[in-house]
């Protein structure tokens, strides 16, 4: 069994969908299906139940998924350690200035424990660059939120957070248990500077063209709400600062926490970081 084939199988086993697995691997579906069938032939076992209602793992598939994850993990650790042994090893990680994701703290502890010889440099960016300097070549991998233009990038979803409207605590809508985007249609929303990724801007504006003050950072968003009554959007799960309220918005799609890197990057430290992140976030 080749590690590449095991990587294909893990993607299918985790996604339980050949189309999503192929997109995750940045390949087309037919060669992925052929690789999995060849693996089944090599092992002499059916790994996946395929039907019109979906894909599920067989008992043999469940066993291989566990074993394959461990093998890939060990292989990536070996690559990372060899890279570190060959000279000073460092990894530059871009992080969106989201300020409150506890997953980052857990990831830092887990990666430090597994790869103590790797120096991790962190570059925090404001809300105008969702890839955190990746496209500019300033970081090796980014821990950020989607959506953004993904051409030539590899993206691994780690978590999806429900989103709410950030309002002043005295706003008439702040006492609602839940809102819909239509409730906010006539309000002013914060904007990002010209040149910001349009997919990113559209998401945080609820998919519509809006008017409002231009902001760059989380604190600027909060001040726009406090001082001007602007509508903001933020992931749920964090206690809002004094004077603000966050009300869930039922028809906003969740905010995806993702690891993103340049597709085809051979750096083993990037792969080790992404796999550690997936384990920590339970992705």
Q: Residue 193: give its domain's CATH number.
A: 3.40.190.10
Distance between the two ends of the chain, CA-based, in angstroms?
24
Residue that is last in its domain, among 50, 65, 86: 86
Question: What SS3 state is found at 30?
Answer: helix
249 and 179 within one domain: yes
If one counts the domains in the chain, the total is 3
97 and 67 within one domain: no
- pTM value is 0.72
Distances (CA, A) of 2 to 9, 35, 36, 127, 147: 11, 11, 12, 41, 33
77 and 125 within one domain: no
203 and 221 within one domain: yes
238 and 179 within one domain: yes
On whether the CB atoms of residues 78 and 86 are closer than 8 A, the answer is: no
Does 157 fall in a domain?
Answer: no
Question: What SS3 state is found at 257?
Answer: strand
User: What's 41's domain CATH number?
Assistant: 1.10.10.10
137 and 275 within one domain: yes
> ∠ CA(253), CA(258), CA(263), 5° rounding?
125
76 and 36 within one domain: yes
The per-residue pLDDT string of the chain (283 residues; one tens digit each, 9 = 90 and over) reads 788 899 899 989 988 999 888 888 878 889 999 999 999 999 999 999 988 888 999 999 999 999 998 888 888 777 777 766 665 578 999 998 765 677 889 999 999 998 888 889 999 999 999 999 998 899 999 999 999 999 999 999 999 999 999 999 999 999 999 999 999 998 999 999 998 999 999 999 999 889 999 999 988 999 999 999 999 999 998 788 899 999 999 999 999 999 999 988 778 889 889 989 999 998 6
Does 156 fall in a domain?
Answer: no
Region of 16 on the Ramachandran plot (φ > 0 left; ψ -120 to 50 alpha; else beta): left
Domain coverage including residue 197: 163-253
Does 150 fall in a domain?
Answer: no
What are the φ and ψ backbone dihedral angles of 243, each rounded to 5 degrees? 90, -5
Does 64 fall in a domain?
Answer: yes
Does 154 fall in a domain?
Answer: no
């Amino acid at each position: 069994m080749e590690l590449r084939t095991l990587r294909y199988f893990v993607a299918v086993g985790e996604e339980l969908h050949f189309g999503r697995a192929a997109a995750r691997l940045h390949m087309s579906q037919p060669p992925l299906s052929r690789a999995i069938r060849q693996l089944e032939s090599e092992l002499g076992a059916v790994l996946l139940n395929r039907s019109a209602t979906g894909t599920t793992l067989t008992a043999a598939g469940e066993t291989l998924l566990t074993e394959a994850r461990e093998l890939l993990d060990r292989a990536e650790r070996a690559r990372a350690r060899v890279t570190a042994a060959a000279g000073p090893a460092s990894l530059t990680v871009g992080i969106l200035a989201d300020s409150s994701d506890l997953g980052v703290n857990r990831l830092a502890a887990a990666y430090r424990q597994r790869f103590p010889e790797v120096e991790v440099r962190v570059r925090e960016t404001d809300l105008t660059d969702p890839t955190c300097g990746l496209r500019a070549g300033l970081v090796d991998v980014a821990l950020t939120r989607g959506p953004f233009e993904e051409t030539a990038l590899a993206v691994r979803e780690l978590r999806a957070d429900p989103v709410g409207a950030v309002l002043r605590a005295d706003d008439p809508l702040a006492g609602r248990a839940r809102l819909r985007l239509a409730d906010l249609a006539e309000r002013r929303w914060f904007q990002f500077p010209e040149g910001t990724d349009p997919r990113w801007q559209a998401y945080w504006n609820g998919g519509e063209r809006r008017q409002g003050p231009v902001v760059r950072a989380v604190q600027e968003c909060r001040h726009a709400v406090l001082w001007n009554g602007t509508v903001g959007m933020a992931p749920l799960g964090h206690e809002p600062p004094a004077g603000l309220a966050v009300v869930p918005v039922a028809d906003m799609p969740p905010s995806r926490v993702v690891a993103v890197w340049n597709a085809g990057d051979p750096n083993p430290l990037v792969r080790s970081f992404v796999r550690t992140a997936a384990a920590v976030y339970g992705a």
